[in-house]
C-alpha cells in the first residue's frame, strides 16, 4: 500500500526540475506517501501539503515548519518545471492553460498562476508563470462501498444523487468510486452494471491523458473530457444511451438545464456540489430549484472528520430525513 503511494509521489517528481526533484526525493517515506500538494512559488519556500497542513522543505530535504530554513524556489526552476509539465509543448496545452491547469499522466493536476493575457475570445494564455501547484491524485478504490447501498434502487437503477461537501473532502474521489462501482456491476443487481456517461468538465473524474482514463472508472463508462455539462448531456443522450450521467461541481443555470434534460430522457444523475449543509445549497438560486422540485432523492454529505471522504450524513430527498444507519 505505502509502496504504491511512494511510487505515485516519485512519478510526479519526474515532472519537476532536476534541482528541486532531487531535494524532494530526500523527504522521509512517511511524508512521501501522504503528500497532497507540492507548491512552487517564485522566490518563496518550497512547500508540501499533508493532511491540511503545510511543511517547508530544506535544502537537505527535511520537512520543517521554520520558513527561514526552507529552500527558496527561483523563477528558472519554475520555468523548467513548467516545460517538463507541458512536455516542452505549450502549443499542445493551449486549452488547458486557458482553464488554468494541466492534467499529467496519472491524473495529477497542476494549477498555474501567472500573468493572464486576454485576447478576442477571452483568456488567451498565461505568461510569466509565478506559481505551480501540483496536486497529487490518489484514487481510493472502495471508498464508496458503504454508500452505494443507499443509492441503488430496484430493479437495476439508482436514485438521483447529489454529493455535498466542502473542498478537499473527497467529493470527486467518492463520485469516481461510485461510478466505478455502478459501471463494474454490483452484487445487489446480481453482478449487472449500469452504462455510465461521465461529463468530466474539469478532467478530474477520469483524469484523461491521451485518451486513456488514468483512474479506474469501471468497464461500462464513457467519458466526455473537458466538455461543458449542457453540451455533454445532449451529446451523451444523443448517441451513448447512458443509464446514469455523472458530473462534477454543478452550480450554474446551464448545469441545472443539463440535469433537467437528462431527467426528461429518463436518465439518472449523480452530481457533486460545494457546500456544507442543505441550507448552503438552497441559498444558491439555480440549485434551489432542483431541491424544491425534489429532483434529487439522496443527498450525501461529506466532511473530513475521520479522514478524507468521511460520510457525515445521507438524507432522503422527499422527506428530508436522515437515512444513514
Partner 1 sequence: MGLIKIVGGLLIILSTSLIGFCYGNRYSKRMNNLIYMEQCLKILETEIVYGAVPLPEALSNVYKKGNKKVSFVFEDIKNHLLEDKTGDIYQSFKSVAGTLNEKLDFTKEDVEIFLSLGRVLGSSDRQDQEKNFKLILNQIAILEKEAKLERDKNEKMYKNLGILAGIAIVIILL
105 binds partner 1 (CB under 8 A): no
Q: To the nearest whole angstrom, how small is the minimum distance from the Cβ of residue 111 to partner 1?
A: 19
183 binds partner 1 (CB under 8 A): no
Q: Which is nearer to partner 1, 92 or 219 (CB)?
A: 92
Angstrom distances, CA of residue 77 to CA of 23, 83, 127, 154, 305: 13, 10, 15, 56, 37
Of the candidates 174, 201, 199, 171, the residue with the CA atom closest to the CA atom of residue 275: 171
**Interatomic CA distance for residues 227 and 289, integer angstroms:** 24
Interface region with partner 1, contact rule CB under 8 A, candidates 56-64, 84-92, 227-235, 242-250: 84-92
**Interatomic CA distance for residues 229 and 295, integer angstroms:** 17
Pick one of 3, 91, 118, 305: the residue that binds partner 1 (CB under 8 A): 91
Pick one of 92, 153, 192, 240: the residue that binds partner 1 (CB under 8 A): 92
Q: Which is nearer to partner 1, 203 or 221 (CB)?
A: 203
260 binds partner 1 (CB under 8 A): no
What would the x/- binding string for partner 1 be over residues 22 to 61, using CB under 8 A?
A: ----------------------------------------
- DSSP strand E in the chain: where? 35-41, 47-50, 53-57, 63-64, 101-103, 109-119, 122-135, 152-153, 157-158, 161-165, 196-200, 208-209, 212-213, 221-225, 244-247, 268-274, 298-303, 310-316
Pick one of 53, 89, 319, 321: the residue that binds partner 1 (CB under 8 A): 89
Pick one of 7, 18, 253, 307: the residue that binds partner 1 (CB under 8 A): 18
- Interface with partner 1 (CB under 8 A), residue total 18
Backbone angles phi, psi at 84, to 5 degrees: -65, -40
Q: To the nearest whole angstrom, how small is the minimum distance from the Cβ of residue 83 to partner 1?
A: 4
Residue 211: how many other CB atoms lie within 10 Å: 7
Backbone region of residue 309 per phi and psi (left: phi > 0; alpha: psi in -120 to 50; beta: other values): left
Taking every pair of Cα atoms in the chain, the longest distance, rounded to a whole number of angstroms, is 62
Interface region with partner 1, contact rule CB under 8 A, candidates 91-99, 160-168, 268-276, 304-312: 91-99
120 binds partner 1 (CB under 8 A): no
Task: Give the interface with partner 1 as residue ranges (CB under 8 A).
Answer: 17-18, 79-84, 86-92, 94, 124-125
Amino acid at each position: 500500500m505505502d509502496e504504491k503511494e511512494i511510487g505515485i509521489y516519485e512519478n510526479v517528481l519526474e515532472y519537476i526540475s532536476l534541482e528541486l526533484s532531487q531535494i524532494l526525493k530526500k523527504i522521509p517515506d512517511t511524508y512521501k506517501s501522504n503528500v497532497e500538494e507540492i507548491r512552487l512559488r517564485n522566490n518563496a519556500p518550497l512547500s508540501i501539503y499533508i493532511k491540511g497542513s503545510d511543511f517547508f522543505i530544506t535544502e537537505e530535504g527535511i520537512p520543517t515548519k521554520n520558513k527561514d530554513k526552507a529552500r527558496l524556489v527561483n523563477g528558472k526552476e519554475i520555468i523548467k518545471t513548467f516545460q517538463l509539465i507541458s512536455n516542452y509543448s505549450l502549443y499542445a496545452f493551449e486549452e488547458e492553460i486557458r482553464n488554468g491547469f494541466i492534467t499529467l499522466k496519472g491524473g495529477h493536476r497542476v494549477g498555474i498562476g501567472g500573468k493572464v493575457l486576454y485576447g478576442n475570445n477571452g483568456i488567451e494564455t498565461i505568461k510569466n508563470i509565478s506559481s505551480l501547484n501540483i496536486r497529487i491524485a490518489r484514487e481510493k478504490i472502495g471508498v464508496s462501498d458503504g454508500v452505494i447501498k443507499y443509492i441503488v434502487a430496484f430493479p437495476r437503477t439508482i436514485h438521483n444523487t447529489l454529493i455535498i461537501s466542502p473542498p478537499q473532502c473527497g467529493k470527486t474521489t467518492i463520485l469516481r468510486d461510485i461510478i466505478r462501482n455502478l459501471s463494474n456491476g454490483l452484487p445487489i443487481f446480481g453482478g449487472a452494471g449500469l452504462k455510465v456517461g461521465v461529463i468530466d468538465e474539469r478532467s478530474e473524474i477520469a483524469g484523461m491523458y491521451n485518451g486513456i482514463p488514468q483512474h479506474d472508472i469501471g468497464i461500462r463508462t464513457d467519458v466526455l473530457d473537458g466538455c461543458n455539462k449542457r453540451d455533454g448531456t445532449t451529446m451523451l443522450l444523443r448517441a451513448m444511451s447512458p443509464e446514469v450521467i455523472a458530473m462534477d461541481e454543478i452550480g450554474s443555470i446551464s448545469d441545472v438545464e443539463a440535469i433537467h434534460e437528462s431527467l426528461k430522457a429518463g436518465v439518472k444523475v449523480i452530481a457533486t456540489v460545494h457546500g456544507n449543509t442543505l441550507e448552503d445549497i438552497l441559498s444558491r438560486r439555480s440549485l434551489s430549484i432542483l431541491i424544491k422540485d425534489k429532483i434529487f432523492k439522496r443527498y450525501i454529505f461529506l466532511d473530513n472528520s475521520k479522514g478524507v471522504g468521511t460520510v457525515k450524513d445521507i438524507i432522503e430527498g422527499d422527506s428530508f430525513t436522515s437515512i444513514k444507519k
